């Protein structure tokens, strides 16, 4: 979709023109009141500027519209919406109001302003264009490794959120499903162990990608685990936890494209497997049921060395339970 929504995204994510972006998001919503991508991003933007009731209303509308979407878009909405419904905990950086965090008003900022603090305030509110601009104003360029890492984290969060919005957008318009030529003989299997345990128990995520067909299949076995909506990566992770759950692990992934050696020929019945410590990616700190979904996506028809590759978009999931810690149960 072109028009107000794409221009609003440019102003929000790239330019940091807060008020102008919000006006264009409002125009985009009037044009497409039932577009879940517009509802998602405009809702998050309203959350960023403390308009929590309006944000919640839009995000709940987006949630109501998720069922007809292709699976990647539906899972992305289920992962992102709960993070922005309702007011957050008190901001760690309350020094600047949303109205002050707008690049169009920075001409009035005093010469001795603490641009690093402005960047922190904006980043906490997911006002990425403002945060990147302010951090660059902090002496013109990042002064040390900490500044460079913060700028890298801002860009990673920026790419993850914009990638999620675009994935929902493609799903809503029918272009995010399996591509033509998808190899239907691949199978994705997911297991979480232990399936039932107290909060704090180490948890392992095991994934297997297998060839269930009669012939050889060349597949991308890098199996890079990334948050849903991230550009790149092969395994897109979504975890929907108990009511009130928000992931505190905050994992980020930055990696280049897969190398030729990642594309492996699997004989019939052969599987590629990987395992992860799930707490490195999800905090799992609340008791209750967790629904985990992984989507394996390889939309590249040929490996870097020219070999044909199985194009696939496969999902698998599981449910596991975490109970209150034993010490907490004993004292109640």
Query: Mean pLDDT throughout 140-160?
Result: 68
**CA–CA distance, 319 with 313 (Å, rounded to integer):** 21
The rounded percent of the chain whose pLDDT value lies above 70 is: 87
Kindly indicate the confidence band of residue 143, based on its pLDDT and cuts at 50, 70 and 90: low
**Residues with Cβ within 8 Å of residue 68, at least 6 apart in sequence:** none
Provide the pLDDT for residue 150. Answer: 75
**CA–CA distance, 284 with 280 (Å, rounded to integer):** 10
Kindly indicate the confidence band of residue 230, based on its pLDDT and cuts at 50, 70 and 90: low
What average pLDDT is seen over the chain?
Answer: 84
Query: Mean pLDDT throughout 308-317?
Result: 84
Provide the pLDDT for residue 108. Answer: 67
* Domains recognised in the chain with CATH numbers: 4-172 (no CATH), 186-331 (2.60.40.10)
Q: Which of 151-155, 282-286, 303-307 has the lowest mean pLDDT?
A: 151-155
**CA–CA distance, 36 with 214 (Å, rounded to integer):** 40
pLDDT at position 272 over 60: yes
CB atoms within 10 A of CB 137: 17
Beta carbons of 297 and 312 less than 8 angstroms apart: yes
pLDDT in tens, 100-140: 999 998 876 666 778 889 999 999 999 999 998 888 777 65
Provide the pLDDT for residue 17. Answer: 95
pLDDT at position 178 over 50: no
For residues 82 and 174, which has the higher predicted lDDT (pLDDT)? 82
pLDDT at position 295 over 90: no
pLDDT at position 30 over 50: yes
Angle (nearest 5°) at CA 148 between 143 and 154: 130
Provide the pLDDT for residue 183. Answer: 44
**Residues with Cβ within 8 Å of residue 140, at least 6 apart in sequence:** none
pLDDT at position 300 over 80: no
């Amino acid at each position: 979709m072109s028009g107000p929504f794409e221009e609003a995204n440019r102003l929000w994510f790239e330019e940091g023109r807060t008020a102008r972006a919000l006006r264009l998001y409002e125009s985009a919503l009037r044009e497409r009141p039932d577009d879940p991508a517009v509802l998602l991003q405009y809702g998050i933007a309203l959350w960023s500027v403390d308009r929590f009731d309006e944000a919640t209303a839009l995000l709940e509308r987006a949630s109501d519209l998720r069922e007809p979407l292709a699976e990647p878009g539906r899972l992305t909405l289920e992962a992102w919406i709960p993070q922005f419904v309702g007011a957050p905990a008190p901001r760690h950086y309350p020094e600047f109001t949303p109205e002050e965090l707008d690049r169009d008003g920075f001409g009035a900022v005093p010469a001795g302003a603490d641009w690093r603090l402005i960047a922190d305030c904006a980043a906490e509110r997911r006002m990425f264009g403002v945060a990147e601009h302010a951090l660059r104003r902090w002496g013109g360029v990042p002064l040390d490794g900490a500044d460079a890492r913060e700028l890298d984290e801002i860009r990673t969060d920026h790419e993850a959120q914009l990638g999620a919005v675009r994935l929902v957008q493609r799903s809503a318009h029918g272009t995010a499903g399996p591509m033509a030529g998808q190899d239907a003989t691949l199978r994705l299997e997911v297991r979480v162990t232990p399936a039932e345990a107290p909060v704090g128990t180490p948890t392992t995520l095991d994934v297997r990608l297998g060839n269930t067909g009669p012939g050889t299949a060349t597949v991308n076995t890098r199996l890079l685990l990334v948050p849903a909506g991230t550009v790149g990566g092969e395994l897109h992770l979504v975890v929907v936890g108990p009511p009130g759950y928000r992931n505190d692990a905050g994992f980020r992934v930055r990696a280049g494209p897969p190398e030729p050696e990642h594309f492996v020929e699997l004989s019939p019945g052969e599987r590629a497997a990987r395992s992860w410590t799930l707490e490195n990616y999800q905090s799992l700190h609340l008791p209750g049921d967790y629904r985990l979904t992984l989507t394996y996506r390889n939309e590249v028809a040929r490996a870097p060395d020219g070999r044909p590759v199985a194009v696939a978009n496969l999902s698998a999931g599981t449910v596991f339970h975490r109970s209150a810690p034993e010490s907490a149960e004993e004292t109640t």
